[in-house]
Structure 1
Amino acid sequence: MKVFILGLCFFLTSAIAASAQKKASASKTNSPHSEQEIINLSKKKWQWMADKKADTLAALFHENAMFVHMGGSWGKEQEVNIIKSGGIHYKHADIQETSVKFIGNTAILLSKIRLLAVVGGNEVTNPFIVTEVYVKEANKWTLGSLSFTRLMGN
């Protein structure tokens, strides 16, 4: 009888573990969000910035978006105006590494980049870790935050 009960416990434990593994792998493959979708959106954003497509970027930027640069921080309207006026021209972002994490309907993308830009009429190249926060509302991703952290010694 002890052997039967022990065998039954082993069988039930194995069945529960197999069911949990199946659910875990199903939730990974059926994720409502796609890392690649966010990576592609970020790449488009960099191209739009290089092309100075301020109106296209304005549609991507959330109304309450915040932008953090080496020289300060500001909201959507000022960022769009800076791009329109050429105050900052993001000429090329050489993306070296990228990762994406999701928290609910929020995507956090980290990129290690080497940015070629014209700032105040001077062409500069800087290594950055860039944090982009995207929020999905009404089935559409918008950029909620863009922050540049300059890497030292690169």
Structure 2
Amino acid sequence: MVIQLTGNVQYTITLDPSVWIFDDRKIDFSKAFSKIEQDKSDDDELKKKAQFWDREVYQQQINPPVNKSINSFEKKKILEGTFVMPIHHFLENALVYDNAKGAILETTNGEIHITLDELQHSLLLFAQKGKQIQEDGPVHLYFQDGSNQQDPITGINKIVIE
């Protein structure tokens, strides 16, 4: 259940949505389409990480570092949450060539052509209620503006940059 990102890119990338649950870049689906909420939560998350860093530096001066696991709230959230991943992170790593015109999404139902801008501002749903997308998976593509929120693009097997 992997997806290949290929075509008019410098580096072909294989995407494995099964490991994204551990990725800090994932976004809770319920907050994915509200830009203001997302920016605020990003700021809050940054503040939390800064406080955690300060606390860890202080603790290391007192005690040796200890391998800490995630707390039970975070674990429950991961095991029961519905998450999306912004695709722009992967497009940046693939290094899309400047002459790229668009993208072809190869799905189980045929090819779907979208603009490069639409792809750049898309989210990939990879987990529902803590489980991988099995039916019409491995991901569902949603546009960031939420215009296809009721009818996402499903069954994506390959993304080809034109």
Instruction: Settle same-fold status: TM greater than 0.5.
Output: no
Tell me the TM-score normalized by structure 2: 0.28
Give the structure with higher Rg (CA). Answer: 1
Tell me the TM-score normalized by structure 1: 0.29
Q: Which structure is higher in RCO with an 8 Å CA cutoff and minimum separation 6?
A: 2
